[in-house]
């Protein structure tokens, strides 16, 4: 019963997101408190830029709700609905205080979601790093927004955007650097990604679906809001920096996904890759905008908004199916999985759709956005100043490399976990009345629909892009040939007919006459091993092989691979420094109430003297 | 109209092209070699035989061959005709991702077999594919830039040829004539296919190979009959290269792809800067 009401709560949030979209432009809510009226005013209204993100929440929420109905925890539905509500608030916020307040609510609720399984040590550690990065982010954002408000003399976004052109150059750079840290840390952009592969797998599946599928996109929304409206135009150098950071994240995320052996961590790294691709698109929009290449900016913005929708759909689908796998096989370590397609046919097929969409394969939605984004970079390569041309060439190479690595990662995910034979002795656990796949089918249908009929989204996204960039050039958007799927689909039909007519005889796998064993199959680590070897200097993998006993004929061989994210070391060093400083500051922590009261008093006095 | 004709003709002669290359390679090794029509005969023979599948393989394995043929045919449909003059009009991304779709399907089918041989081939296939994506897209993209000088065009075609060696399973990356399962890449992926299913998979490999040749020719200067001459040149040269070069060790292959990427970058760089001397 409580699960059903949780599902209804999620549905209600979805309906609310749609309702807000319908009301767009007509209603605005302003709460102006009497004290300090302007600084603390809370304005909420729906803007065109927020609409794709609202649509994303509206589509993803029912899917997660459906899954949660059979497989989630009892009370999860409500906290998930609350989380979605907080994200909607961020999208609607139209003043500094409203934005920061809803952003903090969103961070807080998501922290609770990550902390659901807090009795485990790794979850507590993940929560800890997540809280730290959230607070770092919100500090930077508050500073950036406060500077913008100071410059405009108002706390309303409308006025701030109006005065965006008057920001002095240095201040603009500072604001943008702060925003990049603030939003970049929330989006999991390298080098601020270290919390993401820890926090997303630590949360329950439904929560990680929301975290990866939707919350990362809220950070993307923030970056677009700031760069295209509140502080537009972004200086050229910062546009290039955004592009470069995006590309580094795309390649780095894909590389780690391709050598990862845990499903949920693989998906988290792949999220870093996808966010990187989207952010590189944002960088291109910024660069094109400041150089006055309006057509290019519009095309790139359209492509990245499409990518936002797509990633939200397929990544929540994949995280939910990872949840199903975790409950069925009681592990997400691919070394122990295999052959799940036979046990979970509906989940498996939906997951195949998700994997194909995530590898940008035709005819699914990921293909359309990848195609559009590649087209924007090709346009940049053909018609732009030389600096942009060189950037575009590098971007094409990086995007292609990350695409190839993502294909390796996802063929591993599906091929190892779903196909072949089970690699573990433990019996899988199936639910009696499992309807969780309905949620996956809902999301998978979205992936297929957007892939086969991209026109469903393109026209409205183009309107969003035009109104956000303020362009009125009617760009006829090139779309990938829609007949592309025709021959492969014909192939499927032909295959079914042929199998009916000709039949197929089942024989044991050919293994040179030796017995067919489960252990002959590739494992997740052996599948990623060549890439690990090729990229060893970048990945800094520590590998060791031990023969027991150390003779020519050992009875056992133990191979260990330990991966360290090199960029994590940067974060780790900074964290160690901060801890040292904190340790030094302990002197002033007396632990007595009187001392703290004295501190407060001194602080108030100092404030009064300064403010006098 | 030309597009449709090229599509039909290419579909029909794709196995013969393979036969010619096999014949040349055999002659270079002083063997009489199979006749040019041998691929057709092989396919007819295989088509008449029943297909076997590993006992636990899922529906993905049994559906893959026909779908693969559909994908290869789509790639062939997407490559420009030899009479096309507008090089910017090639739908590069669709071609690249269509090839990726075929590879994804074949790799999954290989992982479905519970066999160490197919799994090892699948591992190598995705590893190399991850590295060929960048040079392939860069080389193709360079054709849409201004300043088409012969030097830049040759560099781009060179990059694409290196990619093609991997995609069509040629020495120095792979060896189609090997009998050792441990060294196979493309053949290894197909190890569990038999009968009419093997015929379909092989036909799709021939079609993909010819599509690649046409794509490379489209990067080189000249139109119409000159392009056909380029394709014939490839058909003759590749067996010679295969005869001369040894197969590379597995972990030396990435160096080849790095070279390809650099060649493609050089081609783009020359055309961006506008070097028109050569």
**Cβ atoms of A133 and A205 closer than 8 Å:** no
Nearest to B105 by CA among B199, B182, B198, B201: B201
Q: Which pLDDT does position B176 carry in this prediction?
A: 84
For residue A247, tell me if it sits in a domain. yes
Subunit contact B50:A509, Cβ cutoff 8 A? no
DSSP H stretches of helix in chain B: 2-28, 38-48, 59-78, 92-111, 116-142, 150-167, 186-189, 195-219, 225-244, 253-273
Using the Cβ of B145 and the Cβ atoms of chain A, whether some distance falls under 8 Å is answered with yes
For residue A137, tell me if it sits in a domain. yes
Among partner residues B55, B92, B269, which is closest to A507 by beta-carbon distance? Answer: B55
Q: Are residues A197 and A288 in the same domain?
A: no
Rounded distance between C-alpha atoms, residue A246 and residue A92, angstroms = 26
Per run of 10 residues, the mean pLDDT along chain A (length 612 residues) is: 84 87 72 70 88 94 91 83 94 92 94 89 88 91 93 89 89 94 92 85 90 94 93 90 95 93 93 96 94 90 94 96 92 90 93 95 92 93 86 95 96 93 83 86 94 88 88 73 83 91 90 83 89 86 80 83 72 80 82 86 90 72
Subunit contact A362:B98, Cβ cutoff 8 A? yes
Residue of B nearest to A492 (CA): B67
For residue A250, tell me if it sits in a domain. yes
Subunit contact B51:A419, Cβ cutoff 8 A? no
Using the Cβ of B259 and the Cβ atoms of chain A, whether some distance falls under 8 Å is answered with no
Q: Which pLDDT does position A603 carry in this prediction?
A: 92
**Cβ atoms of A505 and B51 closer than 8 Å:** yes
Rounded distance between C-alpha atoms, residue A220 and residue A222, angstroms = 5
Residue of B nearest to A366 (CA): B97
Q: Are residues A124 and A253 in the same domain?
A: no
Q: Partners of B98 in the beta sheet? A: none
Q: Are residues A249 and A219 in the same domain?
A: no
For residue A537, tell me if it sits in a domain. no
Tell me how many degrees the CA angle A559-A563-A566 measures, rounded to the nearest 5: 150
B70 SS3 class = helix
A556 SS3 class = strand
Which of B3, B97, B138, B185 is the mutation pick for testing A, counting most A CBs within 10 A?
B97
Nearest to B38 by CA among B21, B56, B59, B57: B21
**Cβ atoms of A14 and A61 closer than 8 Å:** yes
Q: Which domain holds residue A240?
A: 234-426+434-477
Nearest to B229 by CA among B243, B213, B211, B241: B213
Nearest to A289 by CA among A158, A164, A188: A164
Q: Which pLDDT does position B205 carry in this prediction?
A: 95
Sign of CA dihedral B239, B244, B248, B253: negative
Tell me how many degrees the CA angle A597-A602-A604 measures, rounded to the nearest 5: 95
- Determine whether A36 is exposed, middle or buried from the number of CB atoms within 10 Å of its CB (0-12, 13-18, 19+): exposed
Question: What is the DSSP secondary-structure string of A140-182?
Answer: HHHHHHHHHHHHHT-SBHHHHHHTGGGS-HHHHHHHHHHHHHH
Q: How far away is chain B from the Cα of A259, in angstroms, using its nearest Cα?
A: 11
Using the Cβ of B250 and the Cβ atoms of chain A, whether some distance falls under 8 Å is answered with yes
Q: What is the mean pLDDT of residues B58-83?
A: 92
Count of C-beta atoms within a 10 Å radius of residue B48:
10
What are the backbone angles phi and psi of residue B58, rounded to the nearest 5°? Answer: -85, -175
Rounded distance between C-alpha atoms, residue A351 and residue A359, angstroms = 12
Q: Partners of A31 in the beta sheet? A: A42
Subunit contact B127:A496, Cβ cutoff 8 A? no
Q: How far is CA A484 from CA A105, A235, A568, B40, B71, in A?
A: 45, 40, 42, 28, 9
Rounded distance between C-alpha atoms, residue A585 and residue A602, angstroms = 18
Q: Are residues A246 and A227 in the same domain?
A: no
Using the Cβ of B261 and the Cβ atoms of chain A, whether some distance falls under 8 Å is answered with yes
Using the Cβ of B71 and the Cβ atoms of chain A, whether some distance falls under 8 Å is answered with yes
For residue A316, tell me if it sits in a domain. yes
Rounded distance between C-alpha atoms, residue A378 and residue A206, angstroms = 38
- Residue window 392-431, chain A: list those with CB within 8 Å of chain B: 393, 396-398, 400-401, 403-405, 407-408, 410-412, 414-416, 419-421
Q: Are residues A14 and A37 in the same domain?
A: yes
- Percent of chain B scoring above 70 in pLDDT: 98
Of the listed ranges A122-131, A548-557, B95-104, B192-201, the one predicted with least confidence: A548-557
Of the listed ranges A177-186, B1-10, B255-264, the one predicted with least confidence: B1-10
A588 SS3 class = helix
Where b means 16+ CB within 10 Å and e means fewer, A478-512 reads: eebeeebbebbebbeebbeebbeeeebeeeebbee
Helix axes B116-142, A365-382, angle to 10 degrees: 30
Rounded distance between C-alpha atoms, residue B142 and residue A520, angstroms = 44
Q: Which pLDDT does position A175 carry in this prediction?
A: 94
What are the backbone angles phi and psi of residue A95, rounded to the nearest 5°? Answer: -145, 165
Q: How far is CA A374 from CA A104, A215, A310, A381, A475, in A?
A: 35, 25, 16, 10, 17
For residue A527, tell me if it sits in a domain. no
Kindly report the three-state secondary structure assignment for every residue of A375-442. HHHHHHHHCCCHHHHHHHHHHHHHHHHHHHHHHHHHHHHHHHHCCCCCCCCCCCCCCCCCCCHHHHHH
Among partner residues A420, A484, A506, which is closest to B74 by beta-carbon distance? Answer: A484
Q: Which pLDDT does position A41 carry in this prediction?
A: 83
pLDDT digits (tens, 9 = 90+) for B232-243: 999 999 999 999
Among partner residues B54, B191, B272, which is closest to A389 by beta-carbon distance? Answer: B272
Rounded distance between C-alpha atoms, residue A409 and residue B129, angstroms = 12
**Cβ atoms of A79 and A204 closer than 8 Å:** no
Helix axes A51-71, A76-92, angle to 10 degrees: 180
A544 SS3 class = strand
User: Does pLDDT of B85 surpass 90?
Assistant: no
Using the Cβ of B136 and the Cβ atoms of chain A, whether some distance falls under 8 Å is answered with yes
Which of B74, B116, B130 is the mutation pick for testing A, counting most A CBs within 10 A?
B130
Q: Which of A232, A260, A287 lies at the terminal end of a domain, its last residue?
A: A232
**Cβ atoms of A571 and A191 closer than 8 Å:** yes
- Residue window 517-576, chain A: list those with CB within 8 Å of chain B: 518, 520-522, 526-527, 529-531, 533-534
For residue A585, tell me if it sits in a domain. no
Rounded distance between C-alpha atoms, residue A335 and residue A527, angstroms = 11
Helix (H) or strand (E) holding A42: strand A42-45
Q: Are residues A34 and A125 in the same domain?
A: yes
Rounded distance between C-alpha atoms, residue A27 and residue A17, angstroms = 14
For residue A495, tell me if it sits in a domain. no
In chain A, the number of structural domains is: 2
- Residue window 368-397, chain A: list those with CB within 8 Å of chain B: 370-371, 374-375, 378, 381-382, 386, 389-390, 393, 396-397
Q: Are residues A179 and A265 in the same domain?
A: no
A358 SS3 class = helix
Q: Are residues A59 and A186 in the same domain?
A: yes
Among partner residues A367, A415, A505, which is closest to B111 by beta-carbon distance? Answer: A415
Q: Which pLDDT does position B126 carry in this prediction?
A: 94
Q: Are residues A396 and A371 in the same domain?
A: yes
Among partner residues B50, B51, B104, which is closest to A359 by beta-carbon distance? Answer: B104
Q: Which pLDDT does position B41 carry in this prediction?
A: 96
Rounded distance between C-alpha atoms, residue B78 and residue B230, angstroms = 19
Q: Which residues contact A95 (CB under 8 A, 6 or more apart)?
A: A41, A42, A43, A155, A156, A157
More confident residue, B111 or A610: B111
**How big, in percent rounded to 5, are the helix, strand and coil portions of chain A?**
75, 5, 20
Q: Are residues A209 and A238 in the same domain?
A: no
């Amino acid at each position: 019963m409580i699960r059903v009401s949780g599902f209804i709560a999620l549905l209600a949030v979805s309906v609310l997101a749609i309702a807000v979209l319908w009301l767009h432009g007509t209603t605005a809510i302003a709460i102006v408190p009497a004290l300090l009226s302007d600084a603390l005013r809370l304005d909420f209204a729906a803007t065109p830029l927020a609409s794709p993100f609202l649509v994303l929440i509206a589509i993803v929420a029912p899917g997660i709700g459906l899954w949660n109905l059979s497989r989630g925890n009892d009370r999860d539905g409500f906290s998930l609905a609350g989380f979605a509500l907080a994200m909607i608030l961020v999208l609607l916020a139209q003043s500094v205080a409203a934005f920061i307040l809803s952003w903090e609510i969103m961070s807080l609720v998501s922290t609770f979601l990550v902390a659901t399984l807090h009795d485990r040590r790794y979850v507590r550690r993940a929560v800890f790093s997540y809280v730290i990065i959230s607070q770092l982010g919100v500090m930077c954002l508050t500073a950036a927004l406060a500077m913008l408000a100071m410059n405009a003399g108002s706390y309303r976004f409308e006025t701030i955007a109006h005065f965006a052109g008057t920001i002095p150059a240095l201040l603009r750079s500072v604001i943008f650097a702060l925003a990049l840290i603030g939003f970049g840390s929330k989006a999991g952009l390298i080098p601020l990604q270290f919390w993401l592969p820890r926090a997303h797998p630590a949360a329950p599946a439904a929560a990680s679906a929301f975290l990866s599928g939707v919350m990362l996109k809220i950070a993307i929304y923030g970056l677009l809001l700031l760069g295209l409206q509140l502080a537009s135009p972004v200086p050229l150098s910062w546009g290039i920096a955004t592009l470069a950071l995006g590309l580094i994240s795309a390649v780095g995320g894909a590389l780690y996904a391709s050598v990862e052996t845990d499903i949920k961590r693989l998906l988290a790294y792949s999220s870093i890759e996808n966010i990187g691709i989207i952010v590189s698109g944002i960088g291109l929009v910024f660069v094109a905008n400041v150089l006055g290449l309006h057509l290019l900016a519009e095309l790139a913005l359209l492509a990245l908004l499409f990518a936002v929708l797509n990633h939200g759909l397929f990544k929540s689908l994949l995280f939910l199916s990872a949840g199903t796998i975790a409950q069925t096989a009681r592990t997400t370590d691919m070394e122990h999985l295999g052959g799940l397609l036979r046990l979970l046919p509906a989940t498996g097929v939906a997951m195949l759709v998700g994997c194909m969409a995530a590898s940008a394969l035709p005819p699914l939605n990921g293909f359309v956005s990848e195609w559009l984004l590649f087209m924007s970079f090709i346009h940049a390569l053909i018609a732009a100043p030389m600096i942009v041309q060189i950037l575009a060439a590098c971007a094409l190479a990086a995007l292609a490399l990350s695409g190839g690595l993502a294909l390796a990662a996802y063929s591993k995910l599906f091929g190892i976990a779903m196909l072949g034979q089970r690699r573990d002795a433990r019996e899988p656990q199936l639910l009696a009345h499992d309807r969780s796949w309905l949620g996956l089918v809902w999301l998978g249908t979205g992936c297929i629909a957007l892939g086969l009929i991209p026109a469903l989204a393109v026209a409205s996204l183009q309107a969003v892009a035009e109104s956000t960039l303020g362009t009125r050039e009617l760009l006829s958007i090139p779309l990938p040939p829609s007949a592309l799927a025709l021959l492969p689909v014909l192939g499927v039909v032909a295959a079914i007919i042929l199998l009916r007519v000709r039949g197929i005889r089942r024989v044991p796998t050919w293994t040179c006459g030796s017995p067919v064993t489960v252990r002959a199959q590739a494992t997740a680590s052996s599948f990623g091993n060549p890439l690990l070897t090729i990229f060893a200097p970048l990945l800094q993998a520590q590998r060791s092989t031990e023969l027991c006993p150390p003779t020519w004929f050992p009875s056992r061989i133990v191979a260990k691979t330990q991966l360290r994210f090199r960029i994590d070391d940067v974060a780790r060093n900074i964290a160690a420094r901060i801890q040292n400083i904190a340790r030094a500051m302990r002197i002033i922590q007396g632990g007595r109430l009187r001392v703290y009261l004295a501190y407060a008093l001194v602080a108030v006095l100092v404030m009064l003297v300064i403010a006098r | 109209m030309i597009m449709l004709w090229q599509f039909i003709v290419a579909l029909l002669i794709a196995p013969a092209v393979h036969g010619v290359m096999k014949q040349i390679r055999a002659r270079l090794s002083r063997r009489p070699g199979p006749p040019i029509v041998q691929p057709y005969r092989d396919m007819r023979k295989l088509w008449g035989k029943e297909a076997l599948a590993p006992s636990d393989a899922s529906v993905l394995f049994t559906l893959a061959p026909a779908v693969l043929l559909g994908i290869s045919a789509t790639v062939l449909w997407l490559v420009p005709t030899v009479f096309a003059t507008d090089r910017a009009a090639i739908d590069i991304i669709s071609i690249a991702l269509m090839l990726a779709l075929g590879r994804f399907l074949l790799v999954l089918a290989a992982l479905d077999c519970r066999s160490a041989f197919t799994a090892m081939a699948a591992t190598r296939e995705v590893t190399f594919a991850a590295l060929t994506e960048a040079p392939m897209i860069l080389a193709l993209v360079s054709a849409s830039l201004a300043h088409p000088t012969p030097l830049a065009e040759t560099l781009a075609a060179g990059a694409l040829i290196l990619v093609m060696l991997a995609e069509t399973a040629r020495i120095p990356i792979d060896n189609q004539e090997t009998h050792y399962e441990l060294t196979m890449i493309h053949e290894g992926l197909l190890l569990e296919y038999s009968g009419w299913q093997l015929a379909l998979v092989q036909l799709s490999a021939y079609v993909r190979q010819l599509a690649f040749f046409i794509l490379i020719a489209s990067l080189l200067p000249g139109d119409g009959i000159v392009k056909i001459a380029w394709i014939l040149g490839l058909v003759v040269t590749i067996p010679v290269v295969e005869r001369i070069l040894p197969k590379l060790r597995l972990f030396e292959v990435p160096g080849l792809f790095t070279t390809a990427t650099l060649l493609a970058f050089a081609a783009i760089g020359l055309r961006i800067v506008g070097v028109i001397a050569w």
